[in-house]
């Protein structure tokens, strides 16, 4: 994780004076939760006794900005994840998705709400998804729907340090599910990883 953060700082320094900002690079670290997506969004977050972790890096490309004259940017994104499965064999994951950011500017600061929709594949069934499937007498799948939900702020604007403008720090929910049986007959199973991240536009 430290190496990824160092990479982001190097990217920030190299592109500090670049005004194109078509690309993004994000590093994230998260922990699994036994709470469902609705509970997580409402702030009712339970821990996971298995203490499963995920490390993620993803990149994005700006497809459109200020669509419909609204402060909304659309990105195409792809990410690689490493799932620390504790006592079980670890897993790797690939996520590909389209993500929209709603930009809220106030008092010379910027806050973004992001919502991404796509697909996710893991090299093995994740432990937290196996546990959820057993509880609900459900199926499991390596290939599932993926949601990427985030809230962040521009660190450069907050601390008034221009070289860090377009460097965002925030909270992320990585969500995999079968959309109530639509994908591979996974009706109630899936996983949620609550994550913190740093993201740089360049």
> Per-residue pLDDT averaged across 39-64, rounded?
78
Specify the pairing of strand 109-122 against strand 23-33: unpaired
CB 183 within 8 A of CB 141: yes
CB 99 within 8 A of CB 127: no
Any residues with CB less than 8 A from the CB of 161 and at least 6 apart, and which? none
> Per-residue pLDDT averaged across 138-156, rounded?
93
What integer pLDDT is reported at residue 161 of this predicted model?
92
Calculate the dihedral angle through the C-alpha atoms of 53, 119, 185, 125, rounding to the nearest 10 degrees.
Answer: -30
> Per-residue pLDDT averaged across 7-22, rounded?
60
pLDDT band at residue 109, thresholds of 50, 70 and 90?
A: very high
User: Looking at 14-18, 70-74, 118-122, which range is the least confident one?
Assistant: 14-18
User: Looking at 83-97, 104-118, 133-147, which range is the least confident one?
Assistant: 133-147
Residue 65 carries which DSSP code?
S
**Dist. CA 85–CA 90, nearest whole Å:** 5
pLDDT band at residue 180, thresholds of 50, 70 and 90?
A: confident
**Dist. CA 9–CA 64, nearest whole Å:** 26
**Dist. CA 76–CA 61, nearest whole Å:** 5
Element of type H or E holding 130: helix 127-135
Which domains are present in the chain? 2-10+20-201 (2.40.160.20)
* Residue 87: other Cβ atoms inside 10 A: 6
pTM of the model: 0.85
pLDDT band at residue 150, thresholds of 50, 70 and 90?
A: very high
Per-residue pLDDT tens digits for 17-29 = 555 689 999 999 9
What integer pLDDT is reported at residue 51 of this predicted model?
77
The more confidently predicted of residues 92 and 1 is: 92
Backbone angles phi, psi at 163, to 5 degrees: -60, -20
Calculate the dihedral angle through the C-alpha atoms of 174, 179, 183, 185, rounding to the nearest 10 degrees.
Answer: 120
**Dist. CA 199–CA 202, nearest whole Å:** 10
The more confidently predicted of residues 138 and 172 is: 172
């Amino acid at each position: 994780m430290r190496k990824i953060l160092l990479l982001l700082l190097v990217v920030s320094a190299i592109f500090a004076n670049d005004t194109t900002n078509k690309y993004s690079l994000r590093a994230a670290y998260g922990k699994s939760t036994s709470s469902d997506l609705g509970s997580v969004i409402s702030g009712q977050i339970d821990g996971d006794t298995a203490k499963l972790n995920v490390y993620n890096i993803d990149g994005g490309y700006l497809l459109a900005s200020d669509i419909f004259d609204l402060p909304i940017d659309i990105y195409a994104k792809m990410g690689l994840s490493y799932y620390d499965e504790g006592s079980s064999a670890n897993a790797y994951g690939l996520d590909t998705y389209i993500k929209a950011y709603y930009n809220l500017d106030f008092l010379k600061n910027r806050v973004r709400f992001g919502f991404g929709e796509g697909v996710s594949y893991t090299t093995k069934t994740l432990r937290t998804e196996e546990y959820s499937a057993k509880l609900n007498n459900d199926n499991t799948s390596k290939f599932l729907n993926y949601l990427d939900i985030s809230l962040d702020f521009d660190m450069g604007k907050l601390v008034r340090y221009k070289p860090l403008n377009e460097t965002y720090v925030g909270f992320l929910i990585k969500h995999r599910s079968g959309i109530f049986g639509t994908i591979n007959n996974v009706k109630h199973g899936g996983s949620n990883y609550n994550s913190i991240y740093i993201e740089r536009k360049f």
